[in-house]
């Protein structure tokens, strides 16, 4: 039994390092049940999103919204997005009646409420997110499986009577497992849980995170496709690409800071009162008009990212989307729409990388444009989440490739993250935290596990 400031810390309240550790049984059972439930939840939510998308866009298959939107009439664009705005407004009003808790944010819950979140409201927000993203709102679809995983984690933490520290880790593992199951990235999901959500890569945290993401992904693969999210050709590194990675990292860092601050502004200024219903209708109606000309803005950005990663997007369009995509994401959040930020951030990076790569090849030709988009996607994703290790692994798993681009990826990711972190300590997942909460989170993150287990934070 360890001690801190004269207070005993029971061993059973710490994260069990082995199966012989006191309290290991309830903890590992909770991890297993959470992982299975999160995998099943990811399957259900993904299938529901595909159905919504098919109905809304008259034939959008799977998660391919771009092809269906290209063939849709202008009237359908406006009507579908107006409907999404109405559902967003009404949904937010209903969700507020389900819980008196202020907002729903996994990061704040982990750090300041021992992972506790209002179950019904969180699950309702996940379903609402799936509906409106399926209708074309420019946010990520991974937010819903993450939220569902958090609900299951809290349920099984209650049943197992886990300590606050164990619950925090279980909730972080569930969020990573939701991401892993949604995109088929078990190792990346585990690292995301630790590096981004929990803020620690401590040894005793690794196995629960890996186990949760692996089981959740395995369950999801029983029904969802076991294949890379992005299909790309074999890209080879070169001296030109390595030098570009250094330059691009220095540029991607400040761009990421701007993106994070834009997201923070949008999240902190969501509508209140009567504007909860009116704001999303107006915003989504205008977005519907814009999507007639630029259907690439619809949905989370996966389809246009796939094109960019293979060099199939014209440089002029890359530049336009580099400006419009983050703006539409922020305005959608500002209107009150719930959704994820993972793929929208990746898409923004792909656009930036493509633009910088096109300019680079004017002076040093030879490298494919798709490779620059791939590296730019990794740079922005790492710098905005402040998770460089998880991002590198995620990019490998998302594409099914590894050594062909790992060296320039490590360079651009490391430089971009270092520059961004030097300017702004906040990530896109810290948007709801004020400056005092952010400082407290950094303090807690630096504490040893034993001390963190006894930290009373509310």
Closest CA to 228 of 301, 302, 312: 302
Q: How confident is the model at residue 450 (pLDDT cuts 50, 70, 90)?
A: low
Q: How confident is the model at residue 274 (pLDDT cuts 50, 70, 90)?
A: confident
Distance CA 244, CA 361 (A): 10
Q: What is each CA distance from 101 to 121, 148, 263, 388, in whole angstroms?
A: 9, 17, 22, 32
Written as six digits, the tokens of 290 are 């814009």
φ, ψ of residue 9 to 5 degrees: the values are -115, 105
User: What pLDDT digit, counting tens, does each position of 331-379 carry?
Assistant: 999 999 999 999 999 999 999 999 999 999 999 998 999 999 999 999 9
Distance CA 29, CA 276 (A): 41
User: What pLDDT digit, counting tens, does each position of 110-128 carry?
Assistant: 888 888 888 889 999 999 9
Q: How confident is the model at residue 22 (pLDDT cuts 50, 70, 90)?
A: confident
pLDDT of 4: 37
- The arithmetic mean of pLDDT across residues 22-36, rounded, is 92
Q: Indicate if the pLDDT at residue 63 is higher than 70.
A: no
Domains and CATH numbers, the chain: 8-227+436-454 (1.10.3080.10), 239-434 (1.10.3080.10)
Alpha carbon 264 to its chain's center? 15
Indicate the length of the chain as a whole number.
458
Distance CA 363, CA 266 (A): 38
Q: Indicate if the pLDDT at residue 456 is higher than 50.
A: no
Return all residues near 8 (Cβ < 8 A) that are at least 6 apart.
Answer: 1, 2
Contact 12, 22 (CB under 8 A): yes
Q: Indicate if the pLDDT at residue 55 is higher than 70.
A: yes
pLDDT of 6: 39
**Integer-rounded Cα radius of gyration of the chain:** 21
- Checking phi first, is residue 314 left (phi over 0); if not, alpha (psi -120 to 50) or beta? beta
pLDDT of 32: 96
User: What pLDDT digit, counting tens, does each position of 193-219 carry?
Assistant: 999 988 877 788 999 999 999 999 999
pLDDT of 5: 40
Q: How confident is the model at residue 449 (pLDDT cuts 50, 70, 90)?
A: low
Distance CA 180, CA 380 (A): 19
Q: Say what percent of the chain tops pLDDT 70.
A: 92
DSSP string, 164-180: HHHHHHHHHHHHHHHHH
Q: Indicate if the pLDDT at residue 457 is higher than 50.
A: no
Distance CA 339, CA 431 (A): 13
Q: Choose the most confident range, by mean pLDDT, from 2-11, 192-201, 263-272, 378-387.
A: 378-387
Distance CA 422, CA 418 (A): 6
DSSP state for residue 340 in the 8-state scheme: B
CA angle 344, 257, 178 (to 5 degrees): 40
Distance CA 109, CA 107 (A): 5
pLDDT of 451: 54
Q: Indicate if the pLDDT at residue 418 is higher than 60.
A: yes
pLDDT of 9: 54
3-state secondary structure of 91: helix
User: What pLDDT digit, counting tens, does each position of 423-447 carry?
Assistant: 998 999 887 787 787 777 777 766 6
Contact 254, 419 (CB under 8 A): yes
More confident residue, 108 or 369: 369
Distance CA 276, CA 282 (A): 11
Alpha carbon 13 to its chain's center? 29
Q: Indicate if the pLDDT at residue 220 is higher than 80.
A: yes
Distance CA 205, CA 184 (A): 21
Contact 57, 72 (CB under 8 A): yes
Q: What is each CA distance from 72 to 75, 76, 135, in whole angstroms?
A: 8, 6, 13
3-state secondary structure of 79: helix
pLDDT of 136: 94
Closest CA to 235 of 368, 395, 400: 368
């Amino acid at each position: 039994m360890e001690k801190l400031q004269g207070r005993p810390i029971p061993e059973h309240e710490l994260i069990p390092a082995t199966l012989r550790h006191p309290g290991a049984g309830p903890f590992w059972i909770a991890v297993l049940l959470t992982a299975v439930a999160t995998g099943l939840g990811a399957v259900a939510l993904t299938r529901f999103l595909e159905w919504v998308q098919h109905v809304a866009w008259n034939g959008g298959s799977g998660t391919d919204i771009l092809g269906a939107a290209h063939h849709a009439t202008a009237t359908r664009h406006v009507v579908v997005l107006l409907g999404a705005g109405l559902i967003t407004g009404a949904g937010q009003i209903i969700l507020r009646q389900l819980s008196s808790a202020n907002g729903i944010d996994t990061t704040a819950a982990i750090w300041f409420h021992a992972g506790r979140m209002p179950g019904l409201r969180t699950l309702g927000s996940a379903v609402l997110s799936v509906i409106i993203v399926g209708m074309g709102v420019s946010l990520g679809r991974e937010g819903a499986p993450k939220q569902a995983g958090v609900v299951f984690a809290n349920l099984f933490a209650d049943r197992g009577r886990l300590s606050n520290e164990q619950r925090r880790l279980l909730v972080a593992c569930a969020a990573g497992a939701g991401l892993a199951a949604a995109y088929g990235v078990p190792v990346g999901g585990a690292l995301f849980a630790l590096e981004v959500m929990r803020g620690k890569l401590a040894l005793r945290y690794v196995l629960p995170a890996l186990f949760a993401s692996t089981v959740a992904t395995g369950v999801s693969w029983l029904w969802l496709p076991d294949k890379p999210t992005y299909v790309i050709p074999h890209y080879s590194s070169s001296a030109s690409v390595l030098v570009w990675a250094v330059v691009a990292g220095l540029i991607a860092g400040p761009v990421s800071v701007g993106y994070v601050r834009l997201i923070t502004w949008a999240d902190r200024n969501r509508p209140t009162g009567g504007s909860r219903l009116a704001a999303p209708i107006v915003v989504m109606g205008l977005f519907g008009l814009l999507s007639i000309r630029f259907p690439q803005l619809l949905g989370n950005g996966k389809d246009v990212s796939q094109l960019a990663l293979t060099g199939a997007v014209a440089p002029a369009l890359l530049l336009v989307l580099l400006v419009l995509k983050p703006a539409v994401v922020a305005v959608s959040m500002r209107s009150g729409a719930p959704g994820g930020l993972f793929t929208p951030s990746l898409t923004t990076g792909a656009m930036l990388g493509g633009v910088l790569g096109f300019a680079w090849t004017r002076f040093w030709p030879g490298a494919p444009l798709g490779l620059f988009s791939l590296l730019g996607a990794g740079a922005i994703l790492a710098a905005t989440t402040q998770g460089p290790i998880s991002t590198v692994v995620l990019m490998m798993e998302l594409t099914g490739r590894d050594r062909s681009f790992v060296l320039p990826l490590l360079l651009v990711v490391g430089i971009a993250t270092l520059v961004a972190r030097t300017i702004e300590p906040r990530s896109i997942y810290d948007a709801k935290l004020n400056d005092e909460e952010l400082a407290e989170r950094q303090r807690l993150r630096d504490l040893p596990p034993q001390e963190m287990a006894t930290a009373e934070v509310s």
